[in-house]
Structure 1
Amino acid sequence: MNWTAILTAYQLQTEEIEQVTDRVYKIKSNSQSFALKKSRLTRDDLGRWQAIQQYLQEKQILGFVPVYLTKMNHSFVESDSDFYYLMPWIEEQYLDQPVDEYATVVHAIGRLHAATMDYHDLQSVKQNKAVTEQQFQRELSLHREQMLRFVRYFEAKRFMSPTELQICMYYRDMEQVFNQLERWQDVYLDVLDDTDKMKYTLCHGNIRPSHYVATGTHTFFLNWEDAFMTSPTYDLAHYYQYLCQFHDCDFLKMTESFSIYCRYIDLSDYEKALLALQLLSPVKWLELISATTHPRRNSSNLQQSIQIEQEYRKLLLALDFQEYIYQTLQLSQTEDLY
């Protein structure tokens, strides 16, 4: 990193530079504080990222932290093939009154999605319904076969490793995941016929505690490097999956936060089915299991076990959460009448 070139580009007279994380620096200059971010952006990402920045400013999104322009009116500085950008430093406020982060963050997600919402026509998706149904069946069959093949491979050994035993113990729960996936695939296909449009919003793309700052009045989202326009369910699925990997995840607060979100965005049955399919996706789980059969030279058995446990927790809580979502469907309420 060429500090002189970066500071000169932003015309900063530094008083102090503090490295906060491996990618974030806090810079004090002229009695103000700034955040310098070493991004993960590639040259191919820059155009999309700059367009997102401009879009957020034009829409005047509440909670968006703008980037400063350089003296050459650029939104970033390149140094040693890395791209850096500068933002105001937002100080997190610690209040005496406890803050419910689940609700706070979902309020912010809801406001973001509501402010950027548009609609996407589903006519082409409906026309390809038969292809989608075949793809669903093929993928689910493949997932089931992969899982069974791994379990048989591990159980055929005289002695299983702790990680292999861990995977085999979770086989019955994974069967439940596959069964619920099949149910939601049917729901998706059933409600597709009666759905003409789906909501289309700007999604942050990577919502987690390190990417937002909660103050007394607003929640500010940071790091828009993964932002793009898609179904609002993408942000919800990503955020809930992140929460679910931890042992102290509060399921009740998850369901309450989902109700809060639906006050901002009234998700259709089609979109709820899409959310459930995203939450129940076993792709990452199967990738982790596959990695145990072809361990890397420097891989740690303990780290593998932790990753498998975290992914298992995501899917286990997804099983409970999808049942809650199912009870909110208009389809399920109609079925209950008969």
Structure 2
Amino acid sequence: MEWSQIIEAYQLQPEEIEQVTERVFKIKANSQQYALKKSRLYPDDLGRWQAIQQYIQQKQILGFVPIYYAKNNQPFVRDQDQIYYLMPWVEQDYTDQPIDEYASVIHAIGRLHAATMDYHQIAPLKQNKEGMEQQFQQELSSYRDQMLKYVRYFEAKRFMSPYELQICMYYRDIEQIFNQLERWQEIYLDVMEETNEMKYTLCHGNIRPSHYVITQANTYFLNWEDALMTSPTYDLANYYQYLFQFHDCDMGKVTDSFSIYCRYIDLSDYEKSLLVLQLLSPANWFHEVFTSVQSSRNKNNVNCSIKIEQEYRKLLFGLQLQDFIYKTLKSEQFEETY
């Protein structure tokens, strides 16, 4: 299918087409501006994606940019395995008055979750508590063994590559993360006993600057292709981990944003512990380490070091945030222990 056919499916006569990113095109037509997105959706994803779109419209969620229907009455145009959809173009506001991006985005996340909140019984999880405890212990033991194995292997070398030196230097910090992860696993299992239900909301699934637009009136979320119904901690963990990969992440604003979010959604101790378990999970860090070791023959040490550093920052900033979150736990048993 040619471009003309895709655009004609929306009955537009474009005056100008500008490629903004690899997948987003800005179209001027009929005295209006549109955003045409070449999505990452697969044909098998369409049913879920359409259901999410309908749910958002029914709930009249603020910050949602509507999807235009093509002339065949479908909210997308399909070109073989490629899926395209069309939205109004929303322009970012640029004013002399500074905008606190952290606060604007967390307010929008809070409104989204509050507008779609429901509850989900956790009885099946509680029944499997013993199995979860064993799984936690096995995973953590495996992580510790892997870390020690890597450090011993690298230190036995006469010369270490930059990423190998990084891994050895981070050993103490990673061990501290293991210790805190173990502690939060215990907290999670303890508060589970006191919990009967957990919150269940619509999560955007991939909140990052390229997926939202901040205006004076609102913050609009774009690209709902990864949206799903799950614990609200899913969005928080993903958003914070995106911020944490940068060395200049403002932890003061991050902790403020968490307090702002809790005005919209009163997270239980169970949900806070779930959030921390997501933030302190070393799975992605070990994935990058393993990938670096496997691809060491390519000698792309700079790229390996960058990815390992980003995952390390996520864990280190997560360690700082968990300290703040611990102080907000409501159960009396945690008040004098830390």
Runs of 5+ in structure 2 lacking a partner?
none
| Percent sequence identity over aligned pairs | 69
Tell me which amino acid in the other structure corresponds to 1:78.
R
CA distance in 1, matches of 2:291, 2:29: 47
2:320 aligned residue: 320
Cα deviation for residue 4 of structure 1 reads: 1.5
2:305 aligned residue: 305
CA distance in 2, matches of 1:184, 1:297: 38
CA distance in 1, matches of 2:265, 2:134: 31
CA distance in 1, matches of 2:229, 2:300: 37
Match of 1:84, SS state, is strand
Cα deviation for residue 103 of structure 1 reads: 0.5
CA distance in 2, matches of 1:318, 1:92: 30
1:13 aligned residue: 13
Does the Cα contact within 8 Å between 1:2 and 1:80 map onto a contact in 2?
no
Q: What are the equivalent positions in structure 2 for 1:83-98 lying under 5 Å apart?
A: 83-98=83-98
CA distance in 2, matches of 1:298, 1:181: 34
TM-score between both structures, scaled by the size of structure 2: 0.98
Does the Cα contact within 8 Å between 1:140 and 1:182 map onto a contact in 2?
yes
CA distance in 1, matches of 2:80, 2:188: 47
Match of 2:321, SS state, is helix
2:48 aligned residue: 48
CA distance in 2, matches of 1:187, 1:233: 16
CA distance in 2, matches of 1:85, 1:127: 43
Name the Cα RMSD after superposition: 1.5
Tell me which amino acid in the other structure corresponds to 1:242.
Y
Match of 1:18, SS state, is strand
CA distance in 1, matches of 2:12, 2:304: 44
Does the Cα contact within 8 Å between 1:27 and 1:33 map onto a contact in 2?
yes
Does the Cα contact within 8 Å between 1:326 and 1:332 map onto a contact in 2?
no
1:112 aligned residue: 112
2:335 aligned residue: 335
Per-residue CA shift, 1:78-133, capped at 9, x if unaligned? Answer: 12421000000000011211110000000000000000000000111111111111
Confirm whether residue 147 of structure 1 aligns to residue 147 of structure 2: yes
Deviates more, 1:142-151 or 1:258-267: 142-151
CA distance in 2, matches of 1:157, 1:290: 17
Does the Cα contact within 8 Å between 2:161 and 2:301 map onto a contact in 1?
no
Does the Cα contact within 8 Å between 1:327 and 1:333 map onto a contact in 2?
no
Q: What are the equivalent positions in structure 2 for 1:8-87 lying under 5 Å apart?
A: 8-87=8-87
Cα deviation for residue 333 of structure 1 reads: 6.7
Does the Cα contact within 8 Å between 2:292 and 2:304 map onto a contact in 1?
yes
2:213 aligned residue: 213
CA distance in 1, matches of 2:206, 2:73: 27
Cα deviation for residue 34 of structure 1 reads: 0.2
> Aligned pair count?
338
1:166 aligned residue: 166
CA distance in 1, matches of 2:176, 2:52: 39
CA distance in 1, matches of 2:195, 2:24: 44
Per-residue CA shift, 1:183-230, capped at 9, x if unaligned? Answer: 000000000000000000000000000000000010000000000000
2:156 aligned residue: 156
Runs of 5+ in structure 1 lacking a partner?
none
Does the Cα contact within 8 Å between 1:206 and 1:235 map onto a contact in 2?
yes
Match of 1:330, SS state, is coil
Tell me which amino acid in the other structure corresponds to 1:214.
I
Question: Could you say if the C-alpha distance between residues 169 and 297 of structure 1 is closer, same or farther in structure 2, counting changes exceeding 3 Å?
Answer: closer
CA distance in 2, matches of 1:292, 1:68: 44
CA distance in 2, matches of 1:200, 1:100: 28
Divergent runs of 4+, >6 A: none
Match of 2:16, SS state, is strand
